[in-house]
Amino acid sequence: GAGVSQSPSNKVTEKGKDVELRCDPISGHTALYWYRQSLGQGLEFLIYFQGNSAPDKSGLPSDRFSAERTGGSVSTLTIQRTQQEDSAVYLCASSLDRGEGNQPQHFGDGTRLSIL
């Protein structure tokens, strides 16, 4: 399939470790988004990329979180020195972004992160 692909599907790690989550968007989609969702809660916006640049980093919860996107395609979200409150499902989405605002987002299956 040509959907948004995220890896790993599940990640269990010890508190204090660093983790790296990967997102491969739909081919040709210029916009890429990261969200996280705790159990039973709504989506929390983290960061948005237009091409390789991130005009909006306002949602990153702390300086332990960083994200990059290279080649206008794959993106990685890195969480350093993980804490238990980082446990959540991390969702990536992509969309065409022609400056018209009417292109919907398409989501990957998410990475379920559990911090022990």
Residues that bind other proteins (CB under 8 A): 31, 33, 35, 42-43, 45, 48, 50, 55-56, 89, 91, 95, 97, 99-110
Q: How far is the CB of 104 from other proteins (least distance, A)?
A: 5
Would you say 22 and 76 are in contact if contact means Cβ atoms under 8 Å apart?
Answer: yes
Would you say 60 and 17 are in contact if contact means Cβ atoms under 8 Å apart?
Answer: no
When the beta carbons of 64 and 106 are compared against other proteins, the nearer one is: 106
When the beta carbons of 18 and 56 are compared against other proteins, the nearer one is: 56
When the beta carbons of 12 and 81 are compared against other proteins, the nearer one is: 12
> What are the DSSP calls for 59-105, one per residue?
T--STTEEEEE-TTS-EEEEE-S--GGG-EEEEEEEE---SSS-PPP
